[in-house]
Chains A and B, each alone.
Chain A
Amino acid sequence: MQDDSHTNKKSRMSRNSLMFEKVIPVLLILMGILTVALILFAAGILLGIIHF
């Protein structure tokens, strides 16, 4: 049986977690950049700037 303090820990992020302090923000930024790059690439194809 879980008490309240335990359940609160499970649903909140640890302040000292390398994963949530460093890895996740970097991943979010990198994936945001890749998304924008893919959108620009697709726009380049539609506009005829990129040929294949």
Chain B
Amino acid sequence: MSIIQILPFISTAIMLGFTIYVFQRYFVRRAPHFLFWGIGLAMFGLGSFAEVYLSLGWSRAVFVMWYLFGAILNPAWIGQGTLYLLVRRSWVHIVAGILILASLVSTALMLSIPINDSGFHLGTPISEQYKAIIPSASFGLILIPTIIFGTVGLVLLVGGALYSAFLFWHKRVLPNRVVGNVLIAAGALSVASASELTHLGYGQFLYVGELIAAILMFVGFLIAARPQPNEAAKPVVTAAD
């Protein structure tokens, strides 16, 4: 196995465990933030799985899945989960509706663009050759939702985690939630930075960035979710609550 198979394979395995863990919490608590986190994390995992698949052979459907779930949709869906957790207002449902609608439009857009099958070269990471597979005229079109979804996800997920960490740190309580949210933010920043570098043509960092993100976010979530004494009296909510 080569490094371009091993890194996304480990990321996929971690994200599978992470997704199952979050969905288990959703089925117990029925809180919408777990549902959106679970869907977003599943998208992240599908993106990593597509990288493993495309390191072994070509499939147009898997390539579309990689870009749609891995590059466009997953950050905003995870971020929407954080928004549901931190803001208990009715307008959050409207934002969720806009997200679902925008996701459907992006899916239709991604399915409609031409794909250059002959641009694929086995043995090269997909993150280093996707611009040769998507014609430049179409790439300009899908870049807009890629940037918008990514930035919204970055603001909500990283901003939410940093905000939660700061609140607990400022109140000097629940140190596990401070550390957990710092790790979640660091993980999200890792994959966000790697994605930006990929856009700039440095796609070799994406798989490492994803693996670091998968590890840090899962560990951060587990630490933040660990039950603490006196937690019943906690004054604020946080990621992994």
Asked whether B162 lies within 8 Å of A45 as measured between CB atoms, the reply is no
Output the nearest chain A residue to B199 by Cβ-Cβ distance: A52
Q: How many A-B residue pairs have CB under 8 A?
A: 78
Contact stretch, chosen from B9-17, B42-50, B100-108, B188-196: B188-196
Contact pattern, A 10-52, Cβ under 8 Å of B = 1, otherwise 0: 1111000000100011011001101100110111011000001
Cβ of B169 and Cβ of A20 under 8 Å apart?
yes
- Is B229 touching A7 in the complex (CB atoms < 8 A)? yes
Say whether A28 contacts B229, CB under 8 Å: no
B172 within 8 A of partner (CB): yes
Chain A binding site: helix, strand, loop or mixed by DSSP?
Answer: helix
A38 touches B154 (CB 8 A): yes
A35 near B229 with CB under 8 A, answer no
Contact (A11, B151) CB under 8 Å given A31-B186, A38-B189: no
Interface size on B, residues (CB 8 A): 34
B155 cross-chain contacts in A, Cβ below 8 A: 35, 39
Chain A residues lying within 8 Å of B173, measured Cβ to Cβ, are: 11-13
B165 touches A28 (CB 8 A): yes
**Cα–Cα distance between A41 and B196 once the two chains are bound (Å):** 8
**Do the beta carbons of A32 and B199 come within 8 Å of each other?**
no
- Known contacts A12-B172, A35-B189, A45-B147; decide if A28 and B228 are in contact (CB<8 Å): no
Q: A24 to B182, Cβ gap below 8 A?
A: yes
> Which residues does B use to contact A, with CB under 8 Å?
143-144, 147-148, 150-151, 154-155, 158-159, 162, 165-166, 169, 172-175, 178-179, 182, 185-186, 189, 192-193, 196, 199-201, 228-231
Subset of 26 A-B contacts with CB under 8 Å: A7-B229, A8-B229, A10-B228, A11-B175, A11-B228, A11-B229, A12-B172, A13-B169, A13-B172, A20-B178, A24-B178, A24-B179, A27-B186, A28-B165, A32-B162, A34-B193, A35-B158, A38-B192, A38-B196, A39-B154, A39-B155, A42-B147, A42-B196, A45-B143, A46-B144, A46-B148
A-B pairs, 10 with minimum CB distance: A7-B229, A42-B151, A11-B230, A11-B228, A13-B175, A13-B172, A35-B158, A11-B229, A42-B147, A52-B200
